Amino acid sequence: MKTFDSIAPVLGLVAAVLGFVTVAAALPQQANFSPRIAGGEDAADGQFPFQVALINEGLVYCGGTVVNRRWILTAAACITGKALSDVQLFVGSADRLTGGRNVTAERFVIHPDFNAQTYANDIALVRMAESLAFTGNELQPIRLATDFFETATNATVSGWGRFAISNNQLPNRLQFIRTDVIGSEDCAEQFEEPYRSRISDRTICTSNQANQGVCLGDAGGPLVLDGELVGVQSWSIPCGTGLPDVYERVSHHRAWILAITLL
């Protein structure tokens, strides 16, 4: 596909200009950073109380998910090469300008087998410097998925990433889309190498409606199905181009997550 040859330099330019981490759309073979959901709709207050925004120099560059009072789950690419002082964690609101709060990061734990070239095991944990108080519907943790599944319908992905690859505007309101999980074989067939070989039982792929999908700034964000966190947004060909979006499978990494966070 000519798409792969043409999009890489675009992402490199976007990353250089914006300083963003792969929100959901950096190509895996490059350490690009990206950040809104393309074709999404506004989230209601309390609809995604586990959603986290990772902020650097005042800009949302990645997403994350609250798993308990002290730990956030995100993509390894979102914190690789960053100092603790580089990252603020915004929690407790679907609106970046109203409510919520910024929390300081105390510790980064990147999966020991993360590969920055292939994005294998693109998952990490961030320990907060203080415990969160879970009150009402605005701030709550999410359950981690336990079961392996191949396909599913009516999952959701959310984030504060770009509206489009050509539009550097970031939303103040959290965006989301509904999406379907497709099988690994079906997913791999839609990519050329080197991307095809990066699809495995360790990953989850989603297929979206036309002009919908994760975009720069959505990486690290949650893929949710039936109230459980099933995926962590890793990479895609941005944004809403018709190709699948790819996530790390939470059930595959559940033991590692629990060992670190002591849930």
Quick: pLDDT tens for 80-103: 999 999 999 999 999 998 899 999
Measured in whole angstroms, the distance separating CA 259 from the mean position of its chain's CA atoms is 21
Residue 210 pLDDT greater than 90, yes or no: no
Interstrand relation of 101-110 and 228-235 (parallel, antiparallel or unpaired) = unpaired
Is residue 231 within 8 A of residue 247, CB to CB? The reply is yes
| Beta carbons within 8 Å of 141's beta carbon, 6+ residues apart | 50, 66, 67, 68, 69, 134
Measured at the alpha carbon of residue 87, what is the angle toward residues 85 and 91, in degrees to the nearest 5?
A: 130
**Out of 92-96, 191-195, 201-205, 235-239, which region has the weakest mean confidence (pLDDT)?**
235-239
| Beta carbons within 8 Å of 247's beta carbon, 6+ residues apart | 203, 204, 205, 206, 223, 230, 231, 232, 233, 234
Residue 65: C-alpha distances to residues 40, 71, 222, 229 (Å): 19, 9, 6, 8
Quick: pLDDT tens for 115-134: 999 999 999 999 999 999 99
Residue with tokens 């990490």: 124
Q: Give the pLDDT of residue 186.
A: 97
**CATH numeric code, 41-259:** 2.40.10.10
Q: How many Å is the maximal CA-CA distance in the chain?
A: 49
Is residue 174 within 8 A of residue 94, CB to CB? The reply is yes
Q: Give the pLDDT of residue 12.
A: 31
CA 237, CA 3: separation in Å to the nearest integer?
8
Residue 259 pLDDT greater than 60, yes or no: yes
Q: Give the pLDDT of residue 164.
A: 84
Q: Give the pLDDT of residue 6.
A: 30
Mean pLDDT, rounded, for 228-246: 95
Residue 5 pLDDT greater than 60, yes or no: no
Quick: pLDDT tens for 63-82: 999 999 999 999 999 999 99
Residue 28 pLDDT greater than 50, yes or no: no
Binned at pLDDT 50, 70 and 90, residue 33 comes out as very low
Q: What is the pLDDT of the chain when averaged over all its residues?
A: 87
**Out of 9-18, 26-35, 203-212, which region has the weakest mean confidence (pLDDT)?**
9-18
Quick: pLDDT tens for 130-173: 999 998 899 999 999 999 999 999 999 999 998 888 777 788 99
Q: Give the pLDDT of residue 25.
A: 34
CA 171, CA 25: separation in Å to the nearest integer?
16
Residue 222 pLDDT greater than 50, yes or no: yes
Is residue 126 within 8 A of residue 89, CB to CB? The reply is yes
**Out of 26-30, 33-37, 56-60, which region has the weakest mean confidence (pLDDT)?**
26-30
